[in-house]
Chain A
Amino acid sequence: MQKFTSSSLAQSFDRRSFVVGAVQGGIGLLLAARMGYIAVAENEKYEMEAESNRVNLSLIPPRRGWILDRNGSPLASNRADFRVDIIPERLVDPQATVATLSNLLGFDPTERQDLSDKLDKAAGFQPVQVADGLDYDTFAAISVRLPELPGVIPTRGFSRFYPTGPSVGHLIGYVGAASREEYELEPVPLLVTPGFKLGKDGLEQQFEQTLRGEPGARRVEVTASGRIVRDLDMREDVQGKAIQLTIDGPLQDYAARRIGLESGSVVVLDCLTGDLLCMASMPSFDPNSFSDGIGRVEYQMLSANERVPLRNKVLKGLYPPGSTVKPMVAMSFLEAGLDPMEATSCGGGLRVGNRVFHCWQRGGHGHVDMAKGIYQSCDVYFYHFAQRLGMDVIAPMAKRCGMGQEFPLPVASQFFGTVPDPAWKLQKYGTPWAGFDTVNATIGQGYMLANPLQLAVMASRLATGNTVMPRLMLDGKKPTFGSMNFHGDHVQVIQQAMSDVVNGPGTAGRARLPIENVLMAGKTGTAQVVSLNVGGGRGGQWKYRDHGLFIFFAPFDKPRYAGAVVIEHGGGSGAAYPIARDVMTFLFDPAKGLEALHAMEKQWGGTAQERLAADYARFATAAGLDLPPAPADPATIARLVDAEARAAAEPSALASQPVTPRPEAEPSAVPLAPSRPAGGGGAAGR
């Protein structure tokens, strides 16, 4: 045990005070070293962090590049816009904010519910659009109440504007705020900047990087609570580059409107350059209203519509081409050495083995040569020579003419259909080619499927004898096409026969252009939808009615324009060729074309855009608030539609019998619904 005395304690004090002092000095040195380390060695890192605290870089969304038609008119432009967004994570009281904004903006209960839903689903950092296209007074009213609305951001910017709305919906697509997936794919700050929209579909999506431009930026000094102290500097945005299409804006709009209440598509292309002048697909959606994100009413309206307004039918609608393949089949016969004057006799049907294949004209066409086979669309003529020449003649010609072909166009996807031949069938179904398969193929039924663009290309290649390739982008170069190498006067034979369809004793006399000196050539087609003869193809349920098709070119002897019209479930070619006639009339004489359109639109209840708005109002009143909310990203809906479309594009089942051809319209106004006995495919029974 240690002994303590006064002096030992005094000594111990001296010792220990020295120790404590040394410890303190040590800590002092530690502090100095630590501070030196932070302030000198790590200075750069902390300086950067201090700067990133202090300076807030707010991006200014770039003005999007315009999309121009072939004449330089905008199909998509921008307009100055006052808008209001919400940054969800900065909201203090979402409910109160929604209530205040709804009052200020005059929202109805549906719109208010949509806004609440959007906020619930929002990712926090991502701005949620409340409204855009506001007038200045509303904008000002919100701006003055900002202090009580944290997280609400009113801005002046630009919004996308599509002057012709639904007419260009499928072609151009639409823009919208970036989704979470898109941001994860391309994690740049611009994508989550309020007011920034990127292309979601169509050309807007394909040319996103070209159209986007460079964002401007505003550097501001901010406090910790986000209050802006002062502007530091500002960089103007660089507008995105414009793209110019081969599309003729007015023609596109005309065609879209002319489709009217039907569901279908119109393609017109320039035979000399391949320029696509028009790719209209209706019914459509209004890309102007899609840019704000889809409301529940709009979504219900579009998804409940059996005419699939979200599908681009020009590229993704696949149809049995019906009799529109006959000129192509005839060309294959010619090239195989068939004399166009060689004839057969049509008695309303052709017996092959123990089966009878019917002609659409039960009474028969009598003596039929190639020209009559085309302009009267005689099925027996084609049955007869197809038996002789075989599918191996027809299928390669179909492919040369563009069927089953995918074209080099800037689109997300095109469905390219089927050109059946024996090898294909064996591979697909494991069964050998049958006689009736050839029979079906010669009249564009059975397994044969094509999209309207392919039909238009086929028309142009037959008309010109050149390998016309469609193009969508105008690049200042004039493309040159190789020859199809058709022999002799074969092209003229087809031209003349197709002219007779319209201008002679053919099936589409009412398609004659009301324009002097311009004769249009064409070919009608009526395609059966289901192998069953439900409802006879004309009346009955819409989705069982026959498709109406028409391919055409004009002028017939010196083809400049070619195209195709496909009207889904139009009941027959009679639904298609009047549209082709009016569209071509508009191309040569706009005034005359419009006159016809205005008269019709009066009956239909306005232009496509007006009808869409009216539909929306009607739908909204009927449905009220009880609708389920719309998906956050319209693109997902489009994908959904694609999936269905792809499934529908598969040839249904293995065909076991020939298709009974539908009656073609006749020049002298055939009575519309010649009801035929059910189970008209009598051949199958035997």
Chain B
Amino acid sequence: MSAGILPAPLRGIPWRVLLPLTLLVCFGAAVLYSAAGGSLQPYALSHLIRFSVFLVVALVISRLPRELVQFVAYPGYAGVLLLLMVVEAIGAIGGGSQRWIDLGFMSLQPSELMKPCVVLVLAKFYSSLPPGLAGSWRALVPAGLLVGFPMLLVLVQPDLGTALAITFGGVCVMFLAGLPMRWFVGGGLAAAVAAPLAYFFVLHDYQRARVTTFLDPESDPLGTGYHITQSKIAIGSGGLTGKGFGQGSQSHLNYLPEPHTDFVFATMAEEWGLFGGLLVLLVFGIVLRWGWTVARRAPDRFSSLLAGGMTWTIFFYVAINLLMVMGLAPVVGIPLPFMSHGGSSMMTNMICIGTLMMIERWSRRPGGSGALA
């Protein structure tokens, strides 16, 4: 967008990202409209409303000054951690596993909020860590605690998907922060050893079943393998151009589980085919590429780590969800950003987008402390 046409307040907005993104959300709304049997209720309308609300939130975030963001990093992290413990306590008292707090217009999952928070707090931690200490234990242990504690809280909920997302978000920031490569290699080896142990001693039965089923979905086609099989049938039967809008039999006849949340991509692919799928991948590609551009152009260590971490967070959602619906990863409850119906994921991802926009603004005006212009 040429700067001359738009008024000043709109000039700073990255239209070349927001427009494809809005297109993706509208596409998502269309899929949700179809999944509801050709009705705006209950999914499509609230999807669009949430996007609008969180777009405003993202725009507000994009206007925040760097000092403020750095300042709230630790308190914000602590606050979300507290919320996480509160949810845990409520769940324990209520006798069930509650993961959310009801906010009226949406239910808030603190664990979702924790994903960007972990990135933020680690970016803050490494930016304030003297560079010389990057190879010492002081670079690793506090960061490990910052990641590990919320991760454990989420894991006991139990929510394997989110726990993994938090862990990988943290690890990604550590990686980008320049910690010695051998630590990651060693960590990877340790994980390879620990994974089978965790499988047998830590995971819940239903989580274990998901892994087994992922490894061999045909072993139980009507039980846990059902989800993966039906999702592949939906995607595969869509072909090149799909069955047509509103014509997906897999989703409309309830063969596809969760057609509006975790398996929304399969719902889409059935009706729009490979072309629809490539469009979705393209938009995510644009968003992620922009994210890395922002991260590389970021003015300082804090903002580049933050931008990289946020980009990774979005990517992690997209990758795990798509790998899952295509039968390349076990079924973990991770929705597809901007398409799945669900407030928490929309919130997290829009926070990431807002943060990236904010950092892009910072890099345009180095040291800019601008309040809302």
Contact = CB atoms under 8 A, between A and B. Distances in A.
Contacts of A424: none
Contact of B274 (A8, A40, A49): A40
Interface string A8-36: 11101110110011001101101110111
Contacts of B169: none
Contacts of A45: 236
A475 interface: no
Interface in A161-182: none
A427 interface: no
Interface-centre pick from A25, A27, A38 (highest chain B CB count, 10 A): A38
Contacts of A20: 172, 175-176, 292, 308, 312
B240 interface: yes
Interface-centre pick from A40, A42, A43, A50 (highest chain B CB count, 10 A): A50
B237 A49 contact: yes
Interface string B243-274: 00000011001110000000000000110011
Contacts of B255: 50, 53-54, 223-224
A604 interface: no
Given A17-B292, A35-B235, A49-B237, A4 B131 contact: yes
Contacts of B230: 53
Contact of A54 (B135, B232, B253, B323): B253
B234 interface: yes
B368 interface: no
Contact of A46 (B135, B237, B295): B237
Interface string B134-166: 110000000000000000000000000000000
Interface string B314-333: 01000100110011100000
A627 interface: no
Interface in B27-83: none
Contacts of A225: 254
Contacts of B281: 28, 31-32, 35
Given A24-B319, A43-B237, A13 B178 contact: yes
Contact of B131 (A1, A5, A43): A5
Given A2-B135, A21-B292, A43 B236 contact: yes
B232 A38 contact: yes
Interface residues of A, number: 45
B233 interface: yes
A159 B295 CA distance: 78
A24 B288 contact: yes
Nearest to A36: B274
Contact of A38 (B134, B235, B312): B235
Nearest to B289: A21
Interface-centre pick from B274, B289, B304 (highest chain A CB count, 10 A): B274
A51 to B, nearest CB: 8
A46 to B, nearest CB: 3
A47 interface: yes
Nearest to A52: B233
Q: Interface size bucket, B side?
A: 35 or more
Contacts of A54: 249-250, 253, 255
Which secondary structure dominates where chain B touches chain A?
Answer: helix
Contact of A224 (B253, B285, B288): B253
Given A2-B135, A39-B238, A13 B232 contact: no
Contacts of A43: 236-237, 239-240
B176 A17 contact: yes
A225 B315 CA distance: 35
B253 A222 contact: yes
A6 interface: yes
Contact of B134 (A9, A14, A40): A9
Contact of B328 (A34, A39, A51): A34
A379 interface: no
A50 B248 CA distance: 10
Contacts of A25: 285
Nearest to A50: B237
A4 B132 contact: yes
A13 B236 contact: no
A42 B233 CA distance: 10
A229 interface: yes
Contact of B319 (A8, A27, A40): A27
A500 interface: no
Interface-centre pick from B253, B305, B319 (highest chain A CB count, 10 A): B253
Contacts of B238: 39
B360 to A, nearest CB: 15
A209 B250 CA distance: 39
A28 B301 CA distance: 27
Nearest to B307: A17
A624 B281 CA distance: 73
A21 B132 CA distance: 26
Contacts of B239: 39-40, 43, 47
B180 interface: yes
Given A9-B177, A32-B278, A14 B296 contact: yes
B277 interface: yes
Given A43-B236, A221-B253, A6 B277 contact: no
B158 to A, nearest CB: 26
A9 B131 contact: yes
A229 B176 CA distance: 54
Contacts of B234: 50
B284 interface: yes
B326 A34 contact: yes
B253 A13 contact: no
A39 B277 contact: yes
B180 A2 contact: yes
A342 B250 CA distance: 96
A10 B254 CA distance: 51
Nearest to B231: A38
A5 B240 contact: no
Interface string A32-75: 10111011101101110111011000000000000000000000
B243 to A, nearest CB: 9
B285 A28 contact: yes
B93 to A, nearest CB: 34
Contacts of A34: 326, 328
Given A24-B319, A32-B281, A4 B134 contact: yes
A47 B236 contact: yes
B233 A46 contact: yes
B178 A39 contact: no
B301 A6 contact: yes
Given A17-B176, A20-B308, A24-B315, A6 B328 contact: no
A222 B289 CA distance: 44
A53 B233 contact: yes
Interface string B277-300: 110010011001100100110000
7 contacts: A4-B135, A9-B178, A28-B281, A32-B278, A39-B239, A50-B255, A54-B250
Given A27-B323, A31-B323, 9 more contacts: A6-B131, A6-B301, A13-B178, A16-B176, A28-B284, A35-B326, A46-B236, A46-B237, A223-B255
The 10 closest A-B pairs by CB, nearest first: A46-B236, A50-B237, A12-B178, A4-B134, A9-B178, A54-B249, A224-B254, A38-B236, A47-B237, A39-B274
